[in-house]
Structure 1
């Protein structure tokens, strides 16, 4: 079957919108701004969806089977993300001036963990998943999906008590492994799964409403009991439920909005570039906003910041992709 499924490309477009909104609203959400909390939480499907689509995409395209062995597969996967990761690490290093406060070993450790800037953890985690992909492929069955779900839930819950430098929240691969394996499993007999799900539209809608309600209400119900960053985070069992329902909803629901789809497909095409670059432009915008002493209402700030940051990041992504093609990447 075709390795393209337009609904998932559209979903990727939604996911990159979600990532940008999460980072725009995060400081306001931690201050307890209600609108910011709601936007932040409703966007929490974003990173889980990226991991799901990564596992699904590799498997539906039979990337490993079509490669000339493990090292050829790994080379292709690393070349698809690692050069950009290196470039943007240096850019964020220059912007944040980390060099002046950390020694070389600390900088190298931050590079390996993806902690030079808040969002860069995604690349080291996905690269580790690529390394173990052939092994994960062998266990990407129903039992493997359920086992990975259990592991991810336990891992996420353990963040409440265990705050290890290398295995905490976003940096912990176990907090994401379910989504990747679920995507791999879903790619197998994909057409049959899509057809089968059509029978359950009503239950998927109910599941989405319930899961979204849980995600939205959590900060208000238990925000005073735990670290508020944990309460807001994407690494929560309720987000697993919510993200899964959203993926299933995308499959069973027609999405025939040509103009909107066109925009989402454009964002999807350059989503990785937007992901890497957007935090730089958001940080610069925050500096300008603070320097000018502005105090906009929450809605205006979110909307203007989103249009500005997404627009600049998209344009930069287009130019970066053109540059990569010229040098043969």
Structure 2
């Protein structure tokens, strides 16, 4: 019975996504608006800050999701506050798909592909997993640690790393095929269908329960879309101001619809519903140039430091579970301060480490 209710709930949210996508398709068609996905500037050799802005949004969103759990831990009976932190958490559900998508955009098979992944992802993840297991659990077991390590369970958000490693393997396999435009479009459509079917729970009975949280089928469309975007040539098309105004109306209506349905259900959304993250991606990309310059720089910097924040933030929120968030000046200031601490402290530690590396290298060079 519970599985049936779960499938119905998943179906309702996927149907909402299909409705939103249909509304968007009609908007683009009737008003002759070009559908412009973000495309990396192929002429640049430096890191593109525009994609770091997207990752900055995603990193803040991930922290917002975890803040809801933090407030719920201390004040489950405060329905007004929990309802609003849940609303913010649901709005932030674009975050993990956005990370996966942006991680795929600049992937290239070149010399040192696996060495780079090992140094910049596996090694930090291993260090933080060992340290996290040591401080979080009272009874130690090598078997338990390796299970948690493989499934990303030392801290709940760590599931993202084993998930991402599977996608790096998938890219290694798909890359030769994805070079062809026709095959790329076919694989993108297949990945979308697989993602929707997975969201509806049809794979759950065939996959081990332990694998569900790191199943690539839950996010495969976003990863393939990222590869597709990375291999797409830039277009000279632009969206004019009238089209932006029309799309603004659509995005506002979509947001209202998502909020209404979210309040009616009062339930945590999944990270991997297929349509909502794409809407957010299109929205941010179309209005990116209109953002305040300082805000864009801050978001870009957060995005540039996202992996470090991602690995350190679970430690901070873990220790904060010994302190009631309301002690920081009530629910509002408690929420804001929690957000600032979980983003700011990892960035500060990252700056200190990078500064130390620079001084160390300078000392040895002299």
TM-score, shorter chain, exceeding 0.5: yes
Matched, 1:261 2:296: yes
CA-to-partner distance for each residue in 1:39-95, whole Å, 9 max, x for gaps?
Answer: 11111111111000001121xxxx21xx13xxx322222222111101110121122
Deviation, structure 1 residue 177: 1.3
Alpha-carbon separation, structure 2, partners of 1:324 and 1:159: 49
- Cα RMSD (Å) of the superposition? 2.8
* Bigger Cα displacement from structure 2, 136-145 vs 270-279: 136-145
Matched residue, 1:277: 312
1:125 aligns with 2:168: no
1:256–1:208 distance in 2 versus 1, CA, 3 Å: closer
8 A Cα contact 1:16 1:271, kept in partner: yes
For the residues of structure 1 that align with 2:239 and 2:184, how far apart are their CA atoms? Answer: 21
Match of 1:79? 119
1:284 Cα deviation from its structure 2 partner: 0.9
- Asked if the contact 2:195–2:218 (Cα under 8 Å) also holds between the matched residues in 1, the reply is yes
Instruction: Give the 3 Å change call, closer, same or farther, for CA 208–52 of structure 1 in structure 2.
Output: farther
Q: Aligned to 2:83, which of 9, 13, 34? A: 34
| CA distance in structure 1 between the aligned counterparts of 2:244 and 2:187, rounded to whole angstroms | 25
Distance in 2, matches of 1:7 and 1:222, equals 35
Residue matched to 2:149: 111
> Does the CA contact (< 8 Å) of 2:197 and 2:203 recur in 1?
no
Are the structure 2 counterparts of residues 322 and 155 from structure 1 closer, same or farther at C-alpha, using a change threshold of 3 Å? farther
1:55 partnered with 2:89: no
1:26 deviates by: 2.6
Tell me: CA distance 1:91–1:208, structure 2 relative to 1, closer, same or farther (3 Å): farther
TM normalised by structure 2 equals: 0.74
Partner residue of 2:36? none
Q: Which residue of structure 2 lines up, in the alignment, with residue 234 of structure 1?
A: 271
CA distance in 1, matches of 2:315, 2:188: 36
3-state SS of paired residue (2:211): coil
Residue 262 (structure 1) shift: 2.0
Q: 2:323 aligns with which of 284, 288, 305?
A: 288
Quick check: 1:12–1:49 contact (8 Å CA) kept in 2? yes
TM-score by length of 1: 0.81
The answer to whether residue 209 in structure 2 is matched with residue 165 in structure 1 is: yes
Q: Secondary structure at the match of 2:157?
A: coil
State the structure with more CA Rg: 2
What's the counterpart of residue 198 of structure 1? 239
Instruction: For structure 2, list consecutive stretches of 5 or more residues without a partner in the other structure.
Output: 1-41, 362-366
Change beyond 3 A, Cα 1:311–1:26: same
> How many Å separate the matches in 2 of 1:206 and 1:29?
34
Deviation at 1:232, TM superposition (A): 2.6
